[in-house]
Structure 1
Amino acid sequence: MLNNGLPDNGLLHGKTALIYGGGGAVGGAVARAFAAEGASVHIAGRTEARLEKVARDIREAGGTAETAVVDALDEEQVDAFVNRVAKKSKRIDISFNVISFGDVQQPLMDIDVDDFTRPISLAARTHFLTTRAAAAHMVKQRSGVVLMFGGSGPQTVPGLGGFKVALDAMEGLRRQWALELGKHGIRVVTMVTGGIIETIPWQAEGREEIVVEIARTAHLNRTATLTDVGNVASFIVSDKAAAITDATVNISAGAIVDY
């Protein structure tokens, strides 16, 4: 056992993980799961109080977590954050970006052009910046994993505005990064869920209809949970998944098929 009470045979024992958007539901779930598997997690986001809540949960469970207020769309802030963690930890093993894209979901004939292009631009910019910053250190150590979240695929539904197009752009970026970084031993993987009911606000308009639709399309009569996301993310970035790159790991319970 380690001094912090976590087992020294965890999937991510000794690894350093960066998590952007770590104060949110998905980012927080993944941060907790990584820490539970022995990783030292560095949680970044724009709201310090939310980051500290996640970090406090991790520390109370015996894990290691540090926080940093970082705008993941700002090149200087991202580079400074990653370089600071690398200087202290001597390595960067995992980079996971799950920040929101500020999307407005409306039919294409109704949406304003700026509202349409915003999520596409933000998704491409933040994933380019955070991956490049981590890869600069991963290349030197000839290992590392970049994990993306959301996925794309042929299916879509009406009224998503630029959101689905932003996910498509992320997949194109994933393919390019995976190709260029693979020769350095760096893996790039996307995880897709098909929707997580726990992340839909209780006061959201049409929540019940959304929940019913997500569950209806799933083959397993259930949907992915935040616990599922944390567990699968931990496996993907671990050495047990060392042969997986330039791929999408689908945990939609069958809601998304023929990917």
Structure 2
Amino acid sequence: MLLENKVAVIYGAGGRVGRAVARTFAREGAEVFLAGRTRATLDAVADEIRTAGGTAVTTRLDARDEQDVNAFVDGVAGRAGRIDISFNLIGYDITPTLPTPSAGRLAREFARPVPTAATWSHFLTTGAAARHMAVRGSGAILALGGPGPDPAAGAGGFDVALDALEGLRRQWASQLGRYGIRVVTLKAACGETPADIAAAAALVAADRAHAPAPATVNV
């Protein structure tokens, strides 16, 4: 198994991709700690994992709340003894793609995803995991990006949010690499399925993957 005896934290685990990642990580041997804002969806994923013989623990939290994120991660490390993998898959609160050009939209609508992706959620979850990983000298922090450098027509602030996240990811990869922590973005095209993303994530998070920093992986 790729992730045998690993401890994985997955944010947004109740969503389509989060669910696939949680189930795949558990199937590959990881003990998974699932976080999200909706208890019912988290518990449903955990029940599927336990039925298949895996180990899953759920916690309801808002990944944009610094106090909650730090308490959650510290609690996981205290219970499991370490954190090997952190994967943030929360949604970015975007308005559905519209034909209106970005320049013709309301500023608050356009900018909404950017602080969620960069300033709040990923910044908080990365920092919380890195504190524990650095002590052990190893770990993998994963993010899910877009399909590539060409923005989709009408995607607006969503593409800007992903660009901001990638800029931070490059900084984190450079700064945390000295502690043995890999920070990797998985880029998935529109045709990729949650199962495809989950399979790639399991491989990237495994010990046999030694991606240089900075790095992106095309699913």
Q: Do these two structures clear the TM 0.5 threshold for a shared fold by scoring above it?
A: yes
User: Following the alignment from structure 2 to structure 1, what is the Cα–Cα distance between the partners of residues 212 and 23?
Assistant: 23
Q: Select 1:156's aligned residue among 151, 157, 163.
A: 151
Q: Select 1:71's aligned residue among 62, 80, 91.
A: 62
Q: Select 1:123's aligned residue among 109, 112, 117.
A: 117
The alignment status of 1:37 with 2:28, answered yes or no, reads yes
User: Following the alignment from structure 2 to structure 1, what is the Cα–Cα distance between the partners of residues 25 and 149?
Assistant: 31
Match of 2:92 in 1: 101
The alignment status of 1:194 with 2:194, answered yes or no, reads no
The alignment status of 1:239 with 2:193, answered yes or no, reads no
Q: Select 2:106's aligned residue among 112, 123, 126.
A: 112
**1:158-206 deviation line (CA, Å, top 9, x unaligned):** 21120000000110010000010000000000111112xxxxxxxxxxx
**1:76-130 deviation line (CA, Å, top 9, x unaligned):** 0000000000000110000000101111234213311111111011101210000
The alignment status of 1:227 with 2:195, answered yes or no, reads yes
Tell me the amino acid that sits aligned with residue 153 of structure 1: G
User: Following the alignment from structure 2 to structure 1, what is the Cα–Cα distance between the partners of residues 171 and 92?
Assistant: 21
Q: Select 2:131's aligned residue among 127, 133, 136.
A: 136
CA shift at 1:240, angstroms? 1.3
Equivalent residues of 2:148, 2:187 under 8 A apart: no
User: Following the alignment from structure 1 to structure 2, what is the Cα–Cα distance between the partners of residues 35 and 172?
Assistant: 30
Change (3 A) 1:146 1:87: same
Equivalent residues of 2:147, 2:189 under 8 A apart: no
Larger Rg computed on CA atoms: 1
The alignment status of 1:169 with 2:164, answered yes or no, reads yes
Q: Secondary structure at the match of 2:160?
A: helix
Equivalent residues of 1:33, 1:231 under 8 A apart: yes
User: Following the alignment from structure 1 to structure 2, what is the Cα–Cα distance between the partners of residues 46 and 56?
Assistant: 17
Tell me the amino acid that sits aligned with residue 31 of structure 2: S
CA shift at 1:152, angstroms? 6.0
User: Following the alignment from structure 1 to structure 2, what is the Cα–Cα distance between the partners of residues 53 and 248?
Assistant: 31
Identify the range of structure 1 (143-152 vs 46-55) with the bigger mean alpha-carbon deviation: 143-152
Change (3 A) 1:135 1:78: same
User: Following the alignment from structure 2 to structure 1, what is the Cα–Cα distance between the partners of residues 73 and 163?
Assistant: 26
Tell me the amino acid that sits aligned with residue 235 of structure 1: L
**1:133-173 deviation line (CA, Å, top 9, x unaligned):** 00010010110000000236321122112000000011001
Tell me the amino acid that sits aligned with residue 129 of structure 1: L
Report the TM-score, using the length of structure 2 for normalisation: 0.95
User: Following the alignment from structure 2 to structure 1, what is the Cα–Cα distance between the partners of residues 213 and 142?
Assistant: 10
Equivalent residues of 1:151, 1:248 under 8 A apart: no
Aligned residues: 215
Match of 2:42 in 1: 51
Structure with more contact order per residue of length (Cα contacts < 8 Å, sep ≥ 6): 2
Q: Secondary structure at the match of 2:112?
A: helix
